[in-house]
Amino acid sequence: MQFLKILCFLSTLGLLVKCTKGEYAEKEFPEIGWPYTQPLIFEYNNVDTSVWRSLFISLSIKPDAYPYRNIYFHITIQTPSKKEVTEVKEFLLADELGNWFTEPDWRGICEFSSPIMVKTKFLEKGLYTFKLAQYMRDDTLKGVKKVSLVLDSSREK
């Protein structure tokens, strides 16, 4: 089991290291949690419309402080021509009995990662803006330590 934890951690770390060309953004939150008024905003200047891209959300949660087994995100993507696409996505973090899908690390934090978009081409050159907000019942979502958006690029389909 410990081997699987280390493997998951290294896989997540590898994903973040792979995108160190300014293709990720992250926001950390103090002990009080993630206020809905503080979305993560990520701007990406697309210069190549032939590249396939995937967008991932990474989330760090302190399970003893997080009150739910899921999280809803409100995601807005604005294209260079100012067209906006908005979507609400739910990610399950634990099963019906409250068992987390990942084990806490040595700091007591569970790490989750999930795709938002997979193998998509951005058809316009210019500045894309991604806005990610928590979309839960609480004004401030307790237990969320960090949220990240990671844009992965590939020339292969």
The β-bridge partners of 66 are none
pLDDT at 154: 72
pTM, 2 dp: 0.80
Give all domains of the chain, ordered by start, each with its CATH number.
2-154 (2.60.120)
- The Cα 105–Cα 111 span in angstroms is 8
For residue 123, pLDDT beyond 90 = yes
Paired tokens of 86: 């908005």
Cα–Cα dist 75/73, whole Å:
6
Reported as a single tens digit per residue, the pLDDT across 92-111 is: 999 999 999 999 999 999 99
Q: List 150's β-bridge partners, or say none.
A: 24, 56
